[in-house]
Structure 1
Amino acid sequence: MGSGQSSMQVRLHKKPKMTQLELQREYQRNLSEQRLAVHLSARHALENNTAFAQPHDFTQIPGINGHAPSVIASTANNESFYQHRSTTIHSISGTSRTGCQNFRWIDGRRHHNMEEAVYVLPNDIDEMDRLHLQHYVVRHAFGGNTRAKFDAKIHKDVLDVGCGPGTWILEMSTEHTETNFTGIDISAVWPTEIRPRNCRFHVVNAIKGLPFEDNTFDFVYQRFMIMGYPAKDWPFIIQELVRVTKPGGIIELTEIPIVSNANGPELSKMMEILEQACHGKGLDTKVAKKLDGMLRKAGVEGVQACHASIPVGAWGAKVGQLMRENSAGIWSSLRGWIKELTSMNDAQYDAMIKRVFVEYETHKCYINCYCAWGVKPHPTEQHSTAPASPAPSSQLPTPPPPSQSTPPVGGDAGELLRHAAVI
């Protein structure tokens, strides 16, 4: 890893005038080296509507029968890598953290080591790769990196809460070079060597409050924290997001529910186990559908909401295949937790997941991704009833919301994700 970083640094010095695309590819390679190229290929396949080969034999579906997901390579146990990274990571207070303080191992996967945090997914390389892939699919679903209108002339300071490996914030900071971007997460899993100069990261546990002054950011973005915040803490979190947003600034939230749609009997069993486990940790598995209401309750004006339906499985063409890869990564990440809850052994767990992947195809399973956004009012507008809403970045179709029993129709990638509807 060290020699690879050195060579990348040398190339940067030799090419001081790198294009944005070249810089983006450099820091993405720094995130997970060669394996991220597969994600980029998948992303280009989505954008260019070109072929993206995936296995159709159920016995070879990634993540079942003991196979590691084809994109999520089996490198999570590289402890020496994390020990090396820990010497380069610093929290917002400026104090360094050692590897033994930062993480613990569960069923061969690396996790954060903060007892007060409820987040159950790993924070290792495999999980970061899954998050990269999920980012590209969700970005395609909503037609861009934000649903609210992002204006670089106005939005000069941006906060990404729960940034993970930084895929969203790195893309945004590369595209909008005159805007300052700040990413925070409970685990330092972002690139430490190669990243845009207008991008910085801090280790922060948002449940304890955001370490920023009031009215600091013009745009505050948060997504995929449904398994990170207990239900009781969501109102406080939303208030914190509003507090650090400047009057007239935008808050945007995106979440995917724990439970998918059009599930078969085996998938329904697994979802029931997962829901009960989440409830046991105090999580709200349906918070994705409440985002707009929480924003309004926090005083946000002009709140808008939408959702996009994303197929899971080869039946959904390229998008469905990529979402199946994402699902393989999720089940791999949840393996240790679910085995502990159910007393399954490895063989039983693999057999169950194999049946789940078959049902993705036979039942045409899909998930809904929800997004809500709005504007923090100016002090004089706190008691005004007139909404002040930003225009959406790209107008989604506005038919009546589809029935939960009606999955999106498979087909071309450009059509698969046009089943979004304003709620």
Structure 2
Amino acid sequence: MGITYSANGRRLPALKGRKGSKKDHNLPDELVFEEANFAWQHGRRVLDETDSLFEQGSEETHQVFKYILGGNTRTPITPEMQGCLHLGTGHFIWLIEMANEHQGVRFEGFGMINPSDLTELPPNVNLTSGDLLKKLPYPNASFDYVNVRCLLTLLPSKQIPFALSEIIRICKTNARIEFLEVDIFIKNAGPYYENCLGNIWRQICKEKDYNPINSAHLTNLLLKRGLVEVNCSRLSIPLGEYGGKVGVMNAKQFIDSSNAIAANLKMTHDEMQEYLLRCVDEFNRHQSYHNAYLICARKG
């Protein structure tokens, strides 16, 4: 597909993936291959180089999410929704696009915001920097819609109930809430990744009390807090060229986001790049993927 991943211009080779979900006898006993859920593709031409959702220079994570959702959100934004909150603002692309598409709606972004990251924002966007675990700085029943991105995944398990209570508190009656969370752990990864970087991630998750995300757990947490119409979908995201353009972008995002772990592996930057490229080669062979969980609910 002509995508390069490193400064030396090395191109990731397109390797054929294995079919089916049978266990590979070359892997450790605990690595069991699982079936992915790519139903979100619905016959899309994932190899189409002209897909308008993949604009040159866009943030990969945002574009991958936008692709699997078929847009920025699964929750319809109606004229009655006067206030919308986005938690986990990241690079602000979601806020900017949504505010431009819905100019009559007030959008608020909340998270750990670095002032140097701020760019020119639409007039209907306001940003507030803060820590979700220290109570949200909004009155009760402030918002008609709350969008949460990749927030619960990286909260210690014991702090998730408080975070959910705060999110629900600032919602109006009948407000819509949408979560999109991605499991930290790569499925069907293989031993080259698992025995090195995968092991580092398991150690980090244990130390920080991060638990793997799953649909049943998230659904139960929300139902216990009185939310209704809770609907959870599992959306698998391919990791590598076997998954077409979305797989290539997800692989690039994996490489970019994994560089910070080089210190834990005692590698130089170049050594880390070579290791990550070999991981992606393995992902292609085993048809590896991430699971994303989309949860939509309403406050009764």
TM-score by length of 1: 0.56
Residue 226 of structure 1 deviates from its aligned partner by: 4.4
Please give the per-residue CA displacement for 1:314-348, whole angstroms capped at 9, x wherever unaligned.
Answer: 11111111111111111123333x33xxx455565
Q: Does structure 2 conserve the Cα–Cα contact (< 8 Å) formed by 1:279 and 1:285?
A: no
Matches within 5 A, 1:127-146: 132-146=59-73
1:172 and 2:122 aligned: no
Matches within 5 A, 1:147-162: 147-148=74-75, 150-162=76-88
Structure of larger gyration radius: 1
Please give the per-residue CA displacement for 1:50-93, whole angstroms capped at 9, x wherever unaligned.
Answer: xx63149998158xxxxxxxxxxxxxxxxxxxxxxxxxxxxxxx
Aligned to 1:272: 199
Residue 164 of structure 1 deviates from its aligned partner by: 1.3
Cα distance in 2 for residues equivalent to 1:297 and 1:363: 38
Residue 286 of structure 1 deviates from its aligned partner by: 2.8
1:361 to 280, 284, 289: 284
Matches within 5 A, 1:11-26: none
Matches within 5 A, 1:250-289: 250-269=176-195, 270-286=197-213
Cα distance in 1 for residues equivalent to 2:11 and 2:272: 15
Instruction: Give the unaligned 5+ runs of structure 2.
Output: 13-55
- Match of 1:60, SS state, is coil
- Match of 1:354, SS state, is helix
Question: Aligned letter for 1:175?
Answer: E
Cα distance in 1 for residues equivalent to 2:137 and 2:58: 25
Residue 264 of structure 1 deviates from its aligned partner by: 1.4
Instruction: Give the unaligned 5+ runs of structure 1.
Output: 1-51, 63-128, 378-423
Question: Aligned letter for 2:295?
Answer: A
TM-score by length of 2: 0.77
C-alpha RMSD of matched pairs (Å): 2.6
Q: Does structure 2 conserve the Cα–Cα contact (< 8 Å) formed by 1:141 and 1:308?
A: yes
Cα distance in 1 for residues equivalent to 2:139 and 2:189: 45
- Match of 2:162, SS state, is helix
Aligned to 1:328: 255
Question: Aligned letter for 1:358?
Answer: D
User: Would you say how many aligned residue pairs link Structure 1 and Structure 2?
Assistant: 255
Q: Does structure 1 conserve the Cα–Cα contact (< 8 Å) formed by 2:214 and 2:293?
A: no
Aligned to 1:163: 89
Q: Does structure 2 conserve the Cα–Cα contact (< 8 Å) formed by 1:185 and 1:202?
A: yes
Question: Aligned letter for 1:278?
Answer: C
Cα distance in 2 for residues equivalent to 1:318 and 1:156: 36
Residue 228 of structure 1 deviates from its aligned partner by: 3.6
Aligned to 1:60: 10
- Aligned-pair identity in percent equals 25
Aligned to 2:226: 299
Aligned to 1:201: 127
Q: Does structure 2 conserve the Cα–Cα contact (< 8 Å) formed by 1:157 and 1:180?
A: yes
Name the CA shift for 1:246/1:131 in 2 (closer, same or farther; >3 Å).
farther
Q: Does structure 1 conserve the Cα–Cα contact (< 8 Å) formed by 2:82 and 2:106?
A: yes
Aligned to 1:243: 169
Residue 289 of structure 1 deviates from its aligned partner by: 5.8
Please give the per-residue CA displacement for 1:143-180, whole angstroms capped at 9, x wherever unaligned.
Answer: 121123x2321211000011112111111111000000
Question: Aligned letter for 2:227?
Answer: V
Question: Aligned letter for 1:375?
Answer: R
Cα distance in 2 for residues equivalent to 1:234 and 1:130: 34
Residue 293 of structure 1 deviates from its aligned partner by: 1.9
Name the CA shift for 1:289/1:327 in 2 (closer, same or farther; >3 Å).
farther
Name the CA shift for 1:131/1:279 in 2 (closer, same or farther; >3 Å).
farther
- Match of 1:214, SS state, is coil
Cα distance in 2 for residues equivalent to 1:131 and 1:369: 20
Q: Does structure 2 conserve the Cα–Cα contact (< 8 Å) formed by 1:260 and 1:365?
A: yes
Name the CA shift for 1:208/1:130 in 2 (closer, same or farther; >3 Å).
farther
Question: Aligned letter for 1:187?
Answer: I
- Match of 2:255, SS state, is helix
1:375 and 2:272 aligned: no
Q: Does structure 1 conserve the Cα–Cα contact (< 8 Å) formed by 2:146 and 2:171?
A: yes
Cα distance in 2 for residues equivalent to 1:146 and 1:234: 23
Q: Does structure 2 conserve the Cα–Cα contact (< 8 Å) formed by 1:226 and 1:257?
A: no
